[in-house]
Structure 1
Amino acid sequence: MSYQNPTNINVQIEKAIGILKNGGIIAFPTDTVYCLAARYDSIESLKRIYEIKQRPHSLALPVMVADKEQIGQVVAYLSDMALSFIHKYMPGPITLIMPRGKYVNDIITNGKETVAVRIPEHKMTIDLIEGTGVPLAGTSANISGMPSNISAENVVKQLGNEVDLVIDGGECPIGIVSTIVDVTGEFPVILREGAITRSELEIFYEGIK
């Protein structure tokens, strides 16, 4: 593993992009917590993420995109409900469950017909996605079942040499996991309350479950 301290962020990002393009796995900060990610179309890399995290394959991997336009690469269609949440909360600490697109592999969705999508509000994360040229699939950079990490130091302690590169971009500004909302049904359903609270979502969308 290579551990990069924050002396030159641009150098770190360029190195990370090269690793991602070649099918590697990196850990880096987002707006919420540190993330462990790879190209969404690199099957072997995605298998490694599950191994590194000791994550059950029954748990799907969220997909991160750089902007609202890139969502179209990973979802089949956008409902009016989905669009309302996208316009209100993306980029930001929300993950939306939407119908998966045809290019999303089963390993990401655990064979389900839905995919979890997020646009982090974090410049480094967006630079990595844009530089790689494809969405990234990933999850929090920690052993499954353990608390999420908000610093690179803790990622290194927990994951050791399993990751190809850990970027130290400082502590994550929010420090709380994203809120997950399923927007595939008649009404939106909160699957996990995180940085965006249930009370805020209830004000935004009447009838949310």
Structure 2
Amino acid sequence: MSIGTDIYYAAELLAKGEVVAIPTETVYGLAGNAFNKLAVAKIFEIKNRPKFNPLIVHIKNLDYIHQIATNIDDRLLKLLKHFSPGPLTVLVEKKDIIPDIVTAGSPRVAVRIPNHPLTLKLLSLLDFPVAAPSANPFQYISPTSALQVAEQLGNKIPYILDGGKCTIGIESTIVGIEDDSVIVYRLGGLELEEIEKMVGKVGVKDQYQSDKDVQTPGQLKKHYAPKKPLLIGKSEELVSRYSDKKIAILTFGNASSYFRDADVRVYNLSETADLREAAANLFETLYQIDQSDVDLIIADLLPDEGLGRAINDKLKRAGAE
């Protein structure tokens, strides 16, 4: 396994059916030729990801979506035109060229255009799109740097394309159509409010699905989870309850001032209460805590607005049993 910035080498590996880690603005992805069933099967194997959990297909530009999808709702096209490249994924009717393994047998495929210069250049070299879930073992914390990918996947992949730290830091928002209404299937790096400015009121799908009901990535109850136990609640009360443990507090804004005299380690996602900064720091901070010697992570939920909704969703899944 090697790490570098050689898009031509990455393209060569992908064309041979290999799997390569790629940077995006959200998190690092584990990419394979979306038209190649064997390459896609490798992705599932490397991640130990169940086959019922579909993948997102990454494309080079908006025009390309018509090569892999059909009957695309005008509202989804409007969103794509406005927010792409960016942290928006749309769920659309797939063409037969997309193998069923990519969509877990669903007639719909999740598609997005990543907003990262290195990966966009890489995609421009390819005559196929790439299927790419996050580049981590199934259910573990998503990686936001090449080093985290290397530490998590080791020698399971031949190459990591290093594009620096991910700027958004949480997965894309997934949007589709149900009963002629715009539905958000996964809260992510594009705020609900921004989507509603473009298409009016949208629904949010019940976010916790059983295995048989998964329609898009990110719907399983347990996800993004550190190895250390993570509890969500009133952190002051939880610290008192678990005073015999080494505790890490994951907080936001001014909340951490309470713990200055307590025997805990405080990790603040954003001291200035900036939700974008908090999102960018979330997975990196969880990963850092998970490498430490603490016994327990206690997290405060953030304001339930803007990116706070998506961050809270990730925290709840990270703490799920």
TM-score, length-scaled by structure 2: 0.61
Amino acid at match of 1:26: V
CA distance in 1, matches of 2:124, 2:62: 13
Give the superposition deviation at 1:184. Answer: 5.3
Which residue does the alignment assign to 1:175? 169
CA contact under 8 A between 2:80 and 2:88: conserved in structure 1?
Answer: no
Task: Kindly indicate whether residue 125 of structure 2 is the aligned counterpart of residue 131 of structure 1.
Answer: yes
Give the alignment partner of residue 56 of structure 2, picking from 54, 57, 62.
62
Name the CA distance, whole Å, in 2 between partners of 1:131 and 1:36. Answer: 18
The one-letter code sitting in structure 1 at the alignment partner of 2:150 is V
Deviations 1:66-100 (A, max 9, x none): 00111111102222122111112111101100111
**Counterpart in the other structure of 1:163:** 157
What SS is found at the alignment partner of 1:200? helix
2: CA distance, partners of 1:58 / 1:191: 16
Contact 1:53–1:143 (8 Å) recurs in 2 = yes
Aligned length: 203
Quote the sequence identity (%).
34
Distance 1:108 1:134 in 2: 14
- 1:99–1:113 contact (8 Å) kept in structure 2: yes
Counterpart in the other structure of 1:4: 3
Name the amino acid aligned to 1:141: A
Alignment partners' CA distance in 2, 1:79 and 1:102? 18
In the other structure, the counterpart of 1:100 is: 94
- 1:137-168 Cα distance to aligned partner (Å, 9 max, x none): 11110111111110011101101111121122
Asked if the contact 1:76/1:102 (under 8 Å) is kept, the reply is no
Q: Which residue of 2 aligns with 1:204?
A: 198
**Paired AA for residue 120 in structure 2:** I
Q: Contact (CA 8 Å) 2:75, 2:199: kept in 1 or not?
A: no
1:32-111 correspondence runs (5 A): 32-111=26-105
Instruction: List runs of 5+ in structure 2 lacking aligned partners.
Output: 204-321
Asked which structure has the greater RCO (Cα within 8 Å, sep 6+), the reply is 1
Secondary structure in 1 matching 2:90: strand
Q: Secondary structure at the match of 2:69?
A: coil
Contact kept in structure 2, 1:99 and 1:184, CA below 8 Å: no
Give the Cα separation in 2 of the matches to 1:20 and 1:41. 11
Q: Which runs of 4+ in 1 moved over 6 A?
A: none
Query: Does the 8 Å CA contact 1:38/1:138 hold for their aligned counterparts?
Result: yes
Q: 1:150 aligns with which of 144, 147, 154?
A: 144
Over 3 Å counting, the alpha-carbon distance change for 1:163 and 1:184 in structure 2 is farther
Query: How much has 1:129 moved relative to structure 2?
Result: 1.3
Query: Take 1:42 and 1:184, find their aligned partners in 2: how far apart are those partners?
Result: 29
1:108-141 deviation digits (Å, cap 9, x = unpaired): 1111110000001111111111212211111110
SS of match in other structure, 1:125: helix
SS of equivalent residue, structure 2 residue 109: strand
TM-score (norm 1): 0.93
After TM superposition, the structure 1 = structure 2 runs for residues 26-37 of structure 1, keeping only pairs within 5 Å, are 26-37=20-31
Q: 1:97 to 1:185 in 2, by over 3 A?
A: farther
